[in-house]
Structure formats: C-alpha cells, structure tokens
Structure 1
Amino acid sequence: MESKFPSDAAEQAIAVSRTIGGIISYTRWPVNPQQLRLCISGATQIALRPAEIDRNASRPVALRKIAAGGTTSDCDILYLGAMAPDQQRQMISGIHGRGVLSIAETDPLCRGGTMFCLHLRSGSLGFRLSVDAISRGTVRVDPRVLRISSASGGPA
C-alpha cells in the first residue's frame, strides 16, 4: 500500500515517522521494553520525528545515531540509511538472533536482509516487507501488516 508523499521536507519527515511508528505498533518484542531504542545508521534522506513515531507506536521511542558498521547491542529497532553493502551486511548480521526490528530507507526491493524497506519515491510513500527476514527474527510482526505492505520473499 502506498500513500501520497508530500513534497515538503518537514511533511516528508512526519509521514515517514508516522509510517515507522505504525510498523512498530504491529511488532512485539520477546521482552517488552517500556521505551524502545531506535538506532539510526548510515546517510538518511529523512530526519525522523520522535513525537510522530511515539504517537503511532503508542509508546516512547528514543532515537540515537550509530556509526555505519557500528555496534547494535543497545538497539531495539535498527533504521538503516545509505551505506556500503558490506557495512549493511555487518549490521544486519549483528542483530541476528536478537529482538531487533530492522528497517531500510534505501532498499526498494527489500533484498538486503532487513524486515521492512521504505519506498520513498516522488509522489508516494509505502513499504515492503521481507517475509524471510521476519520469519528468521525473534520479534513478532502481526500478520495484518501484510495487508498494507508489498511482500517480498527476501534475498534472491
């Protein structure tokens, strides 16, 4: 499902933040933290808005920046911007077996190993999900999210 994507940068940030909050609201962690820690890594196109994420996630989310290829040990959510493929693989392998939701900003085919991938195109905003990545993860995503996404089988 895609929605109209605003042309104004501030409105884009709100739209993307609301989408991320919505994805979070469909996700359950093995241990349910009071506050989720969203780690941002890589060069992002959108400046996320914590208040909009919190509102749609129905719980507080703390944002922090980490270096591309850096440690993800203090992350409940990993949001990846543009980075070298080897750095992305390293970060994704660092969350395997842990309760971390992963979202990519720059993987339109959703084949890089993250659970969710945003579509940031001129005029529209949507997301894909990787059934493969979700099935291998320890966070649980409500199956109803399939209705509002474009599913992808995962890596080719």
Structure 2
Amino acid sequence: VTKDTDGDGVPDCKDKQLITPTECQPVDADGVGKCPEPECCKNVGTGVGTSTCPTDYPSISFKSNALSSDAKAMAASIATKLKANPTCSITITGYPEASKASQAACQKRVDAIKAYLVESQGISADRISTNCEVGGGDKNTVDIKSN
C-alpha cells in the first residue's frame, strides 16, 4: 500500500505537492492542485506595465441596428466595469460581411454602443475605439475587448 498523505489520490512517491489543500483539489496527474486566487489579489498586477483591466466583457447580439433593452443592460454592465477601472479603455468590434450595406450596419451598431456608453453612462469617448472586421465573426454580434 502506497502512502497518500494529503488524500488527493496521488501516491506520495509521485506527488509533487505533498500537502495539497482541499480547496485546491482535484489535482493533476502529478498531484498539484489548482488553488483559487484569493479575492484580495484578483485585481493586482504582477509588475510594471501590467494591465489590470477587465477581460470578461459580454458580446452583444443585434437583431437590428438599434440597441435592445438586453443590449443596453449589457452595455451598462460594461460601463460599470469601466467606471471601476478609470484607466482602462475598450475596442468595440463588429463583424460585417463584405457588402457595403453590411459594413454600414456594422458601423451603426458599434457606434450605437459607443454612443450609449458615452451619452447614457458617462464614459469618456476617448476610452472607446470602434472597429468593423469583415468576416471576423458573427455579423449580428459585437465584441468588446480591453485595449
């Protein structure tokens, strides 16, 4: 019988982390757990030039060029994150087809989100870039990413 001090299912002779805290289990084949990041450290950078800007912005789907109430709610959640991180900026990207009409619709959609963030949510326009990438994704979806 092989010894398993921390009870993670990996024998001590193969375990690279002999005492794995229970909150870090399950472990990988080497017995190393994946510990959750402490709440206090989630927004701390790792050094000079490190960005702490959010990366979990929602994608916004469109059925027309106007913002639906759902789209406004998602944009408001984006504004909340931007207000909490005043040094961060975003790019709003749509994905039109090659036709001029589709590209025009894309521009209206990204501009509608930017206008909502600026006019209704008080976000500075210079923190928001817009972009339309032909064929880069779903033509009815707009993605938001940190710069």
Give TM-score, length-normalised by structure 2.
0.29
* Higher normalized strand content (fraction of residues): 1
Structure with higher Rg: it is: 2
Give TM-score, length-normalised by structure 1.
0.28
